[in-house]
Amino acid sequence: MATRSVYKGSRRKLVLAFDIGTTFSGISYSILDPGQVPEIKGVTRFPANEHISGASKIPTIIYYDAQGKVRAVGAEATCEGILEQAEDGNWTKAEWFKLHLRSKIGAGKTLTEHIPDLPPNKTVIEVFADFLRYLLQCAKSYIEETHANGPNLWASVEDDIDFVLSHPNGWEGTEQTQMRKAIVLSGLIPDTDSGHSRISFVTEGEASLHYAIQNSVLSDSMKKGNGIVIVDAGGGTIDISSYSDVANSTTNSYEEIAVPQCHFHGAIFVSVHAKVFLQEFLKDSDFIDDVDHIVNCFNDTTKPRFRNIEEPQYIKFGSLRDNDPLVNIRIGQLKLAGSDVAKFFEPSIKCIVTSVLEQCRTSHTKIAHVVLVGGFAANDWVYKSVSTLLSKPDLNVLRPENHV
């Protein structure tokens, strides 16, 4: 593992890093004590997730009531009974809202029809601010509960916290401006020069590079002069970045060796393709009105477990009474050919392979390794397909532990 330098500040400080993803979000933090080597830790306990040991992610979901008040966030928004409460209370669900920050120029202009609308009378800045406010409260509770003299520790740093936010490659002026406004609106910082100085942004590529460095992923290879491509395959975007070790550097320095890329082909778009297929497949069936529910069940089970194109895939969505042999529905399960499910993944896999080859072609340094990180990379079919398709250019594809 790479060594960190001693913190040279004169007083204790807290750094909070928020990774707000399209579908899941997490928190990392470091308490900086003068003269000590900083240690990066993760928040691994969240409301409604306490029973899951080491849970480092929560769903990026907010429920609002009819008056625009936040009613449930994160794991709380997926608890049993929440759908009934939402229906009875006329609540509105906000999800995938991060993608509303994107530029509407270029690839982003075609996404609107696939992204759920924001709740009525809510802007993306307001929704983002509400989620930031929730993450801060989660961090506060975790630190107070898990550190010695936790409440006193928090009180000593809470008025001068530095915040780090990650975002997809290529998100710059417009997107960062909106995120800054959300941070101010959330109350995390004051709207002053000193307040704004406490905000830092890091791209998904840079964040993944830091992960690779701290976990000694390919350090030997990079020291030999080879470059690496890091593919951060997340819920909404696939971010492609390439780096190499800076030659003759006295410190651990790295440089980009190709132009980073960001593509809207993350895991949610597998679900988008599945929905399009099912709407056509079930159009003459009594189950056409269940498509959204079937897609949700596909997301929870079939999609993350898919690994073999030769085997039929099953989506359990109903009861024993739900049957329609004409569309392969039996005892509440929809049967799909593995080849059909593979087609849902195909655009994303093609995007990864094409982008990696483009990085190799344009890089001024030889690239020998490809590192897959992010929640979407946990899918075995994605990993297997990318590895196979990149084996001919003799690229070594790996997927580190704890890569999400």
pTM of the model: 0.91
What sign does the CA torsion over 69, 190, 27, 296 have?
A: positive
**Angle between the N-to-C axes of helices 338-362 and 267-281, in degrees from 0 to 180, rounded to the nearest 10:** 150
pLDDT at residue 250, as a whole number: 61
Domain 216-265+346-398 has CATH 3.30.420.40: yes
Q: Nearest Cα to 14, choosing from 113, 142, 162?
A: 162
pLDDT at residue 106, as a whole number: 67
pLDDT at residue 1, as a whole number: 45
Query: pLDDT 10s per residue in the chain (404 long)?
Result: 456 789 998 899 999 999 999 999 999 999 999 999 999 999 999 998 766 655 789 999 999 999 999 999 999 999 989 999 999 999 999 999 999 999 877 666 778 888 999 999 999 999 999 999 999 999 999 999 999 999 999 999 999 999 999 999 989 888 999 999 999 999 999 999 999 999 999 999 998 888 877 777 766 666 667 899 999 999 999 999 999 887 666 667 888 999 999 999 999 999 999 999 999 999 999 999 999 999 999 999 999 999 999 999 999 999 999 999 999 999 999 999 999 999 999 999 999 999 999 999 999 899 989 999 999 999 999 999 999 999 887 899 999 876 55
Structure tokens at 296: 């949700």
What CATH number should be reported for the domain whose range is 13-204? 3.30.420
Structure tokens at 384: 């297997």
Q: From start to end of 33-161, where are the E strands?
A: 41-42, 58-59, 61-64, 70-73, 92-95
Total residues belonging to the chain: 404
pLDDT at residue 3, as a whole number: 62
Domain boundaries defined on the chain:
13-204, 216-265+346-398, 267-344
Contact predicate 294/302, CB 8 Å: no
Distances (CA, A) of 107 to 99, 127, 203: 12, 23, 18
Q: Nearest Cα to 295, choosing from 277, 309, 307, 283?
A: 277
**Burial 171-200, CB ≥16 within 10 A → b, else e:** beeebeebbbbbbbbbebbeeeeeeeebbe
Dist. CA 105–CA 12, nearest whole Å: 43
Burial label for 120, CB within 10 Å (0-12, 13-18, 19+), is exposed
Contact predicate 119/72, CB 8 Å: no
Residue 20: φ, ψ to 5°: -90, 105
Give yes or no on whether 13-204 and 216-265+346-398 have one common fold: yes
DSSP string, 198-254: TEEEEEHHHHHHHHHHHTTTTHHHHHTT-EEEEEEE-SS-EEEEEEEEPTT-SS--E
Q: What is the DSSP letter of 118?
A: P
Residues 6+ apart with CB under 8 A from 225: 244, 245, 247, 365, 366
Contact predicate 60/131, CB 8 Å: yes
